[in-house]
Amino acid sequence: MNRTRHSIAVLGLSFVCITAPCMAAVAWPERPVRLLVPWAPGGSTDVVGRIVSPELTKRLKQTVFIDNRPGAGSILGMHLAAAAAPDGYTFMLTSTAYGHLLDRKQAKGIEYSRSYEPVALIGLGDSLLTVHPSLPVKTVKELIALAKAKPGELFYSSSGIGGFPHMNTELFKLMTGTHIVHVPFQGGGPASADTMAGNTQINLGSVPSLLGYIRSGRLKPLGVGATKRNPQLPNVPTMTEAGVPGFVTYIWWGVFAPLKTPQDIISRMHGEVATLQNTPEVVKRLEDQGAMPVKQSPAEFGKYMQDEAARWQMVIDKAGIKGE
């Protein structure tokens, strides 16, 4: 009898040990979840993060909080996210930025497609060329003419080396044969603030990061880098219409997890993001900011990251973009 009870107890303990990981996964999350954003507050990535984080909080029934960690064109935050424990309590929300391709020494081999588990693409946003209202230009062609008349005398702000505005503007310079001086900051918010202050004259960022400043009259839009006009800015021509044929660029926003994060947790987070992309209120808030929700599986998102890195590496090589 005692032997039978002992055998049952051993079997019960074994069953608990076998099923414990599954039970832990089912219970996830049991505490707040960090959404690390490797950019300063105020940029498009921060804007998108602050739209989705409270909605994820509701769905996961645990606080999902934004942790802004700017520095070195997002490289600092990328390292922090890659080094975080793969337990489902740290995710990274970031956007188009390739400083790690420009400064490989500081990046130390870190890459979107190899250093993280891809979780979910949130969406895309059109690029947008803006200038300080005092700049005496009304069109893209007039800006190009002014830049050519005053080479090296106009300045553009960016979210940091390798960030979307940096890469975007260098591509613009390549395609227009202009010389405009780069002034990097630690995020889209500080960059656009500098242009609004008139210290720099140009910011070629994204619709979500600049739309509010245009609506308030603090920045003047000249062109949208898209195949068609943006619904939030129907009176602003595309860059092709404005005189730069083929200038079509967009920013992406996506969620990543540290390598070896359990796949069931990744699947759960992916599913929750996908649900938000089907939620009319969330979709409207994203679209009102100029962000277009786009769905991909984690595998598709991982492949997309490889393709995007190759695309911008070609731009880096052709434009001769250097880390500064």
pLDDT, residue 9, reads 45
On whether the CB atoms of residues 186 and 160 are closer than 8 A, the answer is yes
Residue 324 is predicted with a pLDDT of 65
pLDDT tens readout for residues 224-276:
999 999 999 999 999 999 999 999 999 999 999 999 999 999 999 999 999 99
31-124+252-319 and 126-242 share one fold: yes
- The model's pLDDT over 100-138, given as tens digits with 9 standing for 90+, comes to 888 888 878 888 989 999 999 999 999 999 999 999 999
- H helix intervals, the chain: 2-27, 44-60, 75-83, 99-102, 104-107, 112-115, 140-149, 164-176, 188-196, 207-215, 239-242, 263-277, 280-288, 298-319
Task: Show me where the domains of the chain are located.
Answer: 31-124+252-319, 126-242
Report the top-level CATH class of 126-242: alpha beta
- The yes-or-no verdict on residue 14 having pLDDT over 70 is no
Q: Which residues are paired to 93 by β-bridges?
A: 255
pLDDT at 19: 46
Q: Tell me what pLDDT residue 26 has.
A: 55
Report whether pLDDT(217) > 70.
yes
> What contacts 260, CB < 8 A, 6 or more positions away?
86, 117
The answer to whether 51 and 285 have CB atoms below 8 angstroms apart is: yes
All residues at 6 or more sequence positions from 101 whose CB lies less than 8 Å from its CB, including other chains: 107, 162, 309, 312, 313, 316
- Angle among Cα 250, 253, 256 to the nearest 5 degrees reads 145
Residues 6+ apart with CB under 8 A from 297: 270
Q: Which fold has domain 31-124+252-319?
A: D-Maltodextrin-Binding Protein; domain 2 (3.40.190)
